[in-house]
Structure formats: structure tokens, C-alpha cells
Chain A
Amino acid sequence: MDAVIRKQLKIKACKARMGIIEGVFNAKSGHPGGSLSCVDIVTYLYFHHMNVDAQNPKMEDRDRFVLSKGHAAPALYSVLALKGFFPVDELKTLRKSDSMLQGHPSIKYTPGVDMCTGSLGQGISTACGMALGAKLAGKNFRVYTILGDGEIQEGQVWEAAMYASSKGLDNLVAVVDNNNLQIDGKITEVNSPYPIVEKFKAFGWNVIEICAHSFDEIDAAFNAAAEFKGKPSVIVAKSVKGKGVSFMEDQVSWHGTAPNAEQYEQAMSELNQALAELEA
């Protein structure tokens, strides 16, 4: 990836992280850990990969994005706001009763959101439907969905995985945000979904493994997925929960907890410093 583009994406992702912290802090609830782990990929998709138009969110031939791990809504909202779908100031209204930003993504409230998600396991099935619809309509748009690694414990994910390969949905790319933590602890201790790569291979998918925080690897993976024909692709992205905020990194306690004022200040200070270094 071009160094200038990489730097721009890093800056966007850093700003998106600030938006996540801002939203969750003001809401006094929400899911910072899993939002921070997938936000680099969401940033990449909206700023460098997907065909979308913030001025025309329902554009017929747009690429679709389904956040199957809907609790990472702050990551999606933050990126949508930076992309111009709605003002960045809206992020402070996250989860409030008069907000356009629901606790989990909803097409009924938020411009740019392509599907209601939040109940785990369901997003990938709806993404399959969109991908099938594109094929049926002879359209070239592509469909992207991000799953949590805990989420793939849901049986429906494997119903959808079987379906996507059976129907040859090569216009579908799933990402497993592999941060190794879920609410009750380490995924290996709660109910291990491993081996993830072999499982998807067995279900007939093209599997790509990357680091979720390297834009070079992200870019290579999505480009490889776009060129792969005949099968759906899954990108198993090794990530760090809470990535970018030192005290949240790899801590399960930050799955669904909002920072207090002091923690908010520290998180924003760290992110501001990171941003300043990127912009230097």
C-alpha cells in the first residue's frame, strides 16, 4: 500500500477511535473493546475499498456492509460520521433516547447503516441474502460483514457459512474479528471456536489470515478476496481487543464497560498523542 494512503488511513482510524471513546463515554455504556479491535478494518472498508456515497446512502449499486457483531456499533458510527454520512457531533448522542445512533445498528435510524444487527449470528445470513440478490440482479456490488470470534459460536453462522459456499457467493467477504475475548472470558475457555481457519475451509470458503491492525495486510486481503472467484472469502483477522487505548488492550473487562471521566481523559490523551505523531 502507498505510504501516503496508509498514513491517511491511520489518521482516520485514530480519529475513529476517538469517536468510539467519545460516544461510549457520553452514553455511559456500550462496547469499546470490540469496537476498537475492528475499527481499522471498518475504516479501511469505508475510506479505501467500498463503493459508497455519503450523500446518497441508499445508492442502488453501493457495496453493502453488515456489522454482524452489532455491539461494535460505535466503530461503524464513528467511521460513518468521518465519512460524512452524518455530523461527527452526533457521536456524543450515542444510545440517548433522541439519538439517531441506537445501541446496535439500525437501518431505521441511521443513514449509511445497511442492516439491523445486534443479535449475534444473524448479520451473516442477511449479508448472504444481499450477495445472492446482487447475483440475481446481475449487479456488481459486493457485500462485507464482520463477525466476532465469540459470535461464531452461534449455530446460525455455520448455516450461513454452508449456504454462502453452496450458492457460490464470491461477492461476499466475511471478517472474523479474532480478538480472543468474549464477555465471559477467553474464547478458548468459554467455548473454543478454534480451529477457525480449518472450519471455514471445511465449509468451502477461501480463507485469508491477517493482522487486523496492519493496513498493508488488510489491503492485500481484501484485494485477494475480490479476485478470488467461485467461493466466498473469509478474512480471519488477529486483533487486539481495546486496541489503541493502553489500559483497554486485551482486557475482557472492557468488552461492555464505559470509561469514567479520568479514564476518558487518559484514553483521549493517548489517542491525541498518537494522532499528533501521525500528523507530524
Chain B
Amino acid sequence: MAEIIKTATRDAYGKALVELGGTDDKVVVLDADLAAATKTGMFKKAYPDKFFDSGIAECNMMGVAAGLSTVGYTVFASTFAMFAAGRAFEQVRNSIGYPHLNVKIGATHAGISVGEDGASHQCCEDIALMRTIPGMVIINPADDVEARAAVLAAAKYEGPVYMRFGRLAVPRIYDPETYEFEIGKAVTICEGTDVTICATGLLVNEAIEAQKLLAAEGISAEILNIHTIKPIDKDAILKSAAKTGAIVTAEEHSIIGGLGSAVAEVVCEGGKPVPVVRLGVNDEFGKSGPAVELLHIYGLDAQNIVEKAKKAISMK
């Protein structure tokens, strides 16, 4: 059996920025005193003249990113998800979203898996917040291969993009030689007939594990990796819903306003509603602890996807 490669998506982000810097002289990277953690430090080392630190001032950084983009630069602005989507929400809305500027927000340390830093830093609201901004693209990659692909795709796309990366090293799912990424196109990881698991971010790997557990019980699960939460792949979701008749969603985010909400909206308005059961953080704050332990404590694992999948099937 091949060795499992584990990499944090933030690491892939840093490496992809360096890669971009070598091919695109319009790429500029900003950070707010977290370059070592967000991994933009890699870019800073490679291209010091294209890296600007705003210090601990995220709101100003988003405005600077907006202004730089108007001069023709492709700007990546990085900080933790809590500060990018939370603290600087209104700057992202009014200075980047409203003028629809070419700014890419690289938000790392999203979700419960921040771990020991605790609730103040565990942002489980960012997808909900960013979804409400008209024209904002939201990408939550599942592994390092997808994270790299997302960064390269975001650089080519003209307009604002919010990219959500994690601190925790996660298993590689995709083959870097063959993986094809397209903004807004869900990836079918495996086909099934009894239930659809719509997963995003690090829950995609848990969905793969859950699929195996369900198969052992004779339940056939289809997995959709919804890496782009906005614009969401309605066709893929509705097609799969029609086929399996039940959906479970899985995300490292509040069950309010994230992937689960987005999928439910699509399915409800799709004409042929099917049960949708959401797995996510249940409208509560996180707490300190080792990341993997916390993911189990908050039910963000394969076993809980299995339970929710069975619940969804029972509601058919």
C-alpha cells in the first residue's frame, strides 16, 4: 500500500504562491503579521519585492489589496479566516466585493481544526459570511493537490475569490499528475445509489472513509466533493439527488449558512426535494484541544457521516 502523504492545505497555498510568482509578475502577496502561519512566508522569501506586510491591521490590508488590484495587480491577501472574513468582513464587502476587484483572499486556519488556540481563532462562520457577498467565489479545497489547483485557477479568474485553507495536515486524495480542477464544478469521487454525501474541505476525506463503512453495511454512497461553495454546482447536486434520493452534507463550518445550507437551498428549489441532513458545527463555539480530537468531539468524522447518511436514507 502506498504511503499516505499528509499536507496542510495552507502549505500547498504557500507553495502555489511561489509557483505563481515565477510565472506571473503581476502577482502580489499581502499578509497581516501571520506570514509564518499562513505560509505566505514562502512567497516573501522567494519574491521579497512583491510581498507587503500590513502588520496586525487586517481591515487596512483588505483596502490596500483593493487599491493595488485597481492598478493591475493580482493580489493575494492572507490572514486567518477569523480575521479575513470576520474582522474585515465589511472591507471585503465594500472595498473588494462591491467594485468586484481582482483580489484573492487566502484565509488559513479555518474551522475547528485550528486546535489548541481555541474558539477565538476557530472560524466556523466564514463561508456563511462570504456567501452573502454578491460575486464572491468561495473555494474550500480538500487536500494539497486541490489547494494548489485552486490557487492557480483563482489567479486566472478575474474577480474576488475567497479561498479557505486549514492548519491541520490532511491526507492527499488526488493525483497531482491527473487531477483537473474547475471553479464551480463539483468532483464526483465515487458513484452510488442510496445516498449522496456532499462534502467540502477536510471532510471530503472523512466522506471517503464513511463511504467504505457504509459499503460494508450494504449501503451505496455517492460522494460529491463540493470544493467551490459559490457558485455552487447545482446540476451535479440535483442530478445526484435525483439518483440517490437522499443527501448528507459534511463541512468543518457552522451548519448555519455553509455548504449544508447551500445544498439545501439548491435541493429545495430544484423541483424534486429529497431529505438533506447536515453535518457541521452545531451552532456552538469551539474550544481548545488537539485538532484531531476536536474533530471527533464536534462530530466531524466518518462515523458521524455514516449516522447522518442513515438518517437521510430513513427520511426518504
Contact = CB atoms under 8 A, between A and B. Distances in A.
Contacts of B71: 129-130, 133-134, 136-137, 139
Contact of B99 (A107, A133, A136): A107
Contacts of A130: 67-68, 70-71
B294 interface: no
B69 to A, nearest CB: 7
**Secondary structure class of chain A's binding surface, majority of residues:** helix
A122 B98 CA distance: 13
Nearest to B90: A119
**A115, A129, A132, A160 — which one has the most chain B CB atoms within 10 A of its CB?**
A129
A126 interface: yes
B64 interface: yes
Nearest to B54: A163
A115 B90 contact: no
A66 B62 CA distance: 16
A136 B73 contact: yes
A116 B91 CA distance: 11
A108 interface: yes
Interface residues on A, range: 35 or more
B100 interface: yes
Interface string B47-86: 0011010110101111111111111110000000000000
Interface in A7-55: none
B95 interface: yes
A108 B64 CA distance: 19
**Secondary structure class of chain B's binding surface, majority of residues:** helix
B282 interface: no
B311 to A, nearest CB: 43
Contact of B60 (A64, A128, A131, A137): A128
Nearest to B99: A116
A107 B96 CA distance: 12
Contact of B52 (A108, A115, A159, A167): A167
B94 interface: yes
Contacts of A122: 59, 63, 90-91, 94-95
Given A136-B28, A162-B57, A125 B63 contact: yes
B67 A127 contact: yes
B69 A163 contact: no
Given A108-B99, A119-B90, A114 B59 contact: no
Interface in B12-71: 28, 49-50, 52, 54-55, 57, 59-71
A115 B59 contact: no
A170 B163 CA distance: 33
B64 A132 contact: yes
B91 A129 contact: no
B64 A129 contact: yes
A156 interface: yes
Contacts of B52: 132, 167
Contact of B70 (A125, A133, A162): A133
Contacts of B63: 122-126, 128-129, 156, 160
A118 interface: yes
B211 to A, nearest CB: 45
Contacts of B67: 66, 115, 125-133
Shortest beta-carbon contacts, A-B, top 4:
A129-B67, A125-B63, A133-B71, A159-B60
Given A122-B91, A125-B61, A160-B63, 12 more contacts: A64-B70, A118-B94, A119-B90, A119-B95, A124-B63, A125-B91, A125-B95, A128-B64, A137-B72, A155-B59, A159-B59, A159-B60
Interface of B: 28, 49-50, 52, 54-55, 57, 59-73, 90-91, 94-95, 98-100
25 contacts: A60-B72, A64-B70, A107-B99, A108-B100, A115-B66, A118-B94, A125-B64, A125-B91, A125-B95, A126-B95, A127-B67, A128-B60, A129-B65, A129-B66, A130-B71, A131-B67, A133-B70, A133-B73, A136-B49, A136-B50, A137-B71, A139-B71, A156-B59, A159-B59, A162-B55
